[in-house]
Amino acid sequence: MVSHGRNRLCGSSEECMKRKRLMTVVAAAAGAALAVPQGNMGFLSAWISDRTVLTAQAEDLLGILIVKEDGEENESSPLQTEESVVVIGGEETEASEKASDGEGNEEGSEASVTGFARYDEILQLYLTGLNAGWDASEFDENGLCYLAGYLSSADELGYFLTDVDGDGTEELLVGQVSEEEYAYQGMFYDFYTIKEDGLVQAAVSAERGRYYLCTDGVVAYEGSSSAFCSANAFYTFTRAELELTESVLYDAWEDEENPYFYSITDVWEDHSTSISQEEAAALLNAHEYMEISYIALSEVEEELGAAETVSVLKLQAIEEVEAASVEAETITYKLENDPLSQSELNRLSYEMYQIWDDILNVLWGYLRESLPEEEMAALTEEEIAWITEKESAIAAAGAEFEGGTMQPYVENTTGAELTKERVYVLLEKLS
């Protein structure tokens, strides 16, 4: 056990203060998976054939997520629910430079897995999450499709490159690798493209809002908002956005006797054009889903080098240290600028020392979780030696004012500065 000089010990991160998680990008709640057979007609055809009521429930239905630069207006889309920025390594992605050969590859991309550094970063982040055992919420917090959290290894998730809109630049699809036919064959989790204004996440699937690529280049969507309301929509991919061409809505809440509706403007709210069951079936059968041959991430793991990325634990630690620094800087400003009595100076300096001591204990808990036993044992010895040195330095600083009203202030500020320095030393030991 290591005491950090304040009669406190943090044995694990759960015993320490917690702040909000870093990189929350897309809010998506995980519902129960729908086990509905999928063919050319999608899951709506299951209702058409036997009108079976689905019982699986989910808390949300994601729409289309379009990345835009700050200050740009985001044109509305029929299924769009919110704007999203993909974050890689804590920074917003920028537009990739294309080579002058017109083939859509980046300069110096010989070592790239996909030919685009931005696509590689997305795959690298997925690979990191799979290798680290992220759950659905952790993929979600990192701006990725949370469905990857239900997979167990990099053998099960892969990528596929294809020029969907025919503009010469390949799009990136991320999805589940499967050698056997299953309910969602051909579905993709994420759909990315690269345009002049940066990396665009054009669509992201959810359990009750899934996307497919059709053989004719159309993007199909299957969504369900309740057991009695579902939609199949079809989009063309143009100018980095999905544009609705037509849709079929099954809404037994609106009209139990005639629940099928056709629209070219609004997937979920347009009930103006009622169609028959046969017409709905014909429309759905007109689009055939592509069988996507995903390349498993495990096959390109070495090239991606995912081990070099920063772990979620360290990203969280960085955020917490930054938050502590802001709190401490606020106190420092008061100490240096406000007209304070000596007792107020003593109190505020103690609070500042406490801030850095608290975050030090948070980091110690993270280190206990992440470091191998031998490394942690060596670090514990180092920490004990540091505590001894710190306490000696505090005592020496206060000795000059021993018995005076300034002694607590000098000791607190000395302890705060030394502890702050140690915080950043420990932060670097997290990978």
Give the side-chain half-sphere CA count within 13 A for 258.
9
Exposed/middle/buried for 393, CB within 10 Å: 0-12, 13-18, 19+?
middle
- Provide the token pair at 345: 């100076």
Which residue in this structure is represented by tokens 């057979």?
A: 37
Gap between the Cα atoms of 390 and 304, Å rounded: 42
pTM score > 0.95 for this model? no
Residue 270 has pLDDT above 60, yes or no: yes
Reported as a single tens digit per residue, the pLDDT across 48-77 is: 333 222 222 222 322 322 233 333 333 333
Distances (CA, A) of 90 to 10, 50, 119, 132, 335: 27, 49, 16, 18, 32
Reported as a single tens digit per residue, the pLDDT across 345-381 is: 999 999 999 999 999 999 999 999 889 999 999 999 9
Give the side-chain half-sphere CA count within 13 A for 83.
10
- Provide the token pair at 103: 């083939």
Reported as a single tens digit per residue, the pLDDT across 293-329 is: 999 999 999 888 744 445 678 888 999 999 999 999 9
- Per-residue pLDDT at 2: 57
99 vs 199, more confident? 199
The residue among 120, 99, 122 whose CA lies nearest residue 111 is 120
The residue among 247, 175, 183 whose CA lies nearest residue 38 is 183
Reported as a single tens digit per residue, the pLDDT across 327-341 is: 999 999 999 999 999
Gap between the Cα atoms of 241 and 253, Å rounded: 31
431 vs 285, more confident? 285
Which of 61-65, 191-195, 208-212, 281-285 bottoms out in mean pLDDT, i.e. has the lowest? 61-65
Phi first, then psi: give them for residue 100, nearest 5 degrees. -75, -5
